[in-house]
């Protein structure tokens, strides 16, 4: 278990602290890829599929164009709400997962895939729902880029002033669903792979590296469609709709799924999949290795 076995009691604070610190480290290391994913996911939105415009041809093209026109700062637009999100979301998610799991194991006497799955779903959904405002701000700043010249506090104020408190929780439903799916795949798969590979690699960095790669692939495949919908809903107020299109293309999560499928087809749900995978892989590698080293250090 990543949680640390018998040395971690149900009241131990360490999984929360380690989860938050490791999440922030991983976020800094992979954020430009996340920016490209967000830009790719929101492009092509329209009620008329014949008039969809695509600015970026893929992850590499997106990264190059952002770097060329907006510079290094453009690649890190939204980094501070992202770090704030990880300090909240990562701390609650990983701390809750490992603490809940340990409590159940101590009570039930054994660990199982079902236990891990239930703990992961609860931890992912609750933590993401709480941290949704930081996610909204991150998406808005990533889409606007460096040209907007808007800081973290100003962006918070802008959303609250024009959209109210509900604007800060825009997209909370798909956000919680996505986080639950990611956690339900990522955490149990990591724990399962790690336990099975101990005889081959031992409890070391090689094991943590391979296990995190398997966890990343599974969670990227499962979560990308929900992530596309989440990103579009969060960014909706800033859409450059033009023409006769309404200011709000989507009226709900279900409507966003429907309109995206109707106007752009099934594969629109996998826009940004490559940067999602390329981000989740390094992100999880950095996170889990950092987490495991923090455990050993303390």
Mean pLDDT over 119-136 rounds to 93
Amino acid 108: pLDDT: 79
More confident residue, 139 or 4: 139
- The region that residue 78 occupies, defined by phi over 0 for left and psi between -120 and 50 for alpha, beta otherwise, is left
CB 228 within 8 A of CB 219: no
Give residue 245's pLDDT band: very low, low, confident or very high (50, 70, 90): very low
Ordered domains of the chain (ranges, CATH): 5-297 (1.50.40.10)
pLDDT (tens digit, 9 = 90+) per residue, 20-64? Answer: 999 999 999 899 999 998 898 888 776 555 556 678 888 899 999
pLDDT tens sequence across 166-175 = 889 988 998 8
Residue 9 pLDDT grade (very low, low, confident, very high; cuts 50, 70, 90): very low
∠ at Cα 23 (75, 193), nearest 5°?
115
pLDDT band at 220 (very low <50, low <70, confident <90, very high): very high
Tallying the residues shown for the chain, one arrives at: 298
What is the overall mean pLDDT for the chain? 85
Name, in order, each residue with C-beta under 8 angstroms of 10's C-beta and a sequence gap of 6 or more.
99, 102, 103, 106
CB-based contacts of 205: which residues, under 8 Å, 6+ apart? 289, 292
Say what the pLDDT of residue 5 is.
Answer: 44
DSSP codes of every residue in 9-69? -TT--HHHHHHHHHHHHHHHHHHHHHHHHHHHHHTT--S-GGG---S-SSHHHHHHHHHHH
With a cut of 90, say whether residue 107 has pLDDT above it: no
Coil, strand or helix at 155: helix
Mean pLDDT of 202-222: 93
Q: Specify the pLDDT at position 50.
A: 56
pLDDT of residue 148: 63
Give the model's confidence band at 132: pLDDT under 50 very low, under 70 low, under 90 confident, else very high. Answer: very high
What pLDDT, on a 0 to 100 scale, did the predictor assign at position 61?
93
Please give the span between the terminal C-alpha atoms of the chain, in angstroms, as a whole number: 16
């Amino acid at each position: 278990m990543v949680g640390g076995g018998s040395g971690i009691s149900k009241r131990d604070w360490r999984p929360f602290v380690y989860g938050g610190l490791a999440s922030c480290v991983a976020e800094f290391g992979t954020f430009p890829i996340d920016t490209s994913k967000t830009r790719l996911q929101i492009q092509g939105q329209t009620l008329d599929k014949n008039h969809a415009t695509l600015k970026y041809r893929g992850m590499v093209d997106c990264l190059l164009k952002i770097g060329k026109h907006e510079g290094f700062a453009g690649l890190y637009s939204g980094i501070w709400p992202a770090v704030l999100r990880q300090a909240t979301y990562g701390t609650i998610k990983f701390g809750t997962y490992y603490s809940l799991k340990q409590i159940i194991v101590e009570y039930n006497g054994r660990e199982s895939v079902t236990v891990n799955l239930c703990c992961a779903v609860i931890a992912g959904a609750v933590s993401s729902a709480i941290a949704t405002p930081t996610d909204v701000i991150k998406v808005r700043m990533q889409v606007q880029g460096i040209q907007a010249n808007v800081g973290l506090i100003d962006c918070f104020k802008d959303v609250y002033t024009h959209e109210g408190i509900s604007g800060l929780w825009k997209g909370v439903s798909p956000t919680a669903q996505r986080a639950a799916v990611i956690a339900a795949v990522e955490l149990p798969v990591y724990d399962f792979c790690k336990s099975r590979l101990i005889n081959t690699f031992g409890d070391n960095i090689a094991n943590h590296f391979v296990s995190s790669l398997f966890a990343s692939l599974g969670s990227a495949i499962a979560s990308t469609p929900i992530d596309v919908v989440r990103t579009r809903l969060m960014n909706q107020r800033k859409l450059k709709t033009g023409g006769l299109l309404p200011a709000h293309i989507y009226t709900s999560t279900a409507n966003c799924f429907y309109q995206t499928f109707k106007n752009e087809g099934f594969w629109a749900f996998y826009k940004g999949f490559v940067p999602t995978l390329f981000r989740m892989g390094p992100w999880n590698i950095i996170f889990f290795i950092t987490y495991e080293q923090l455990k050993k250090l303390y």
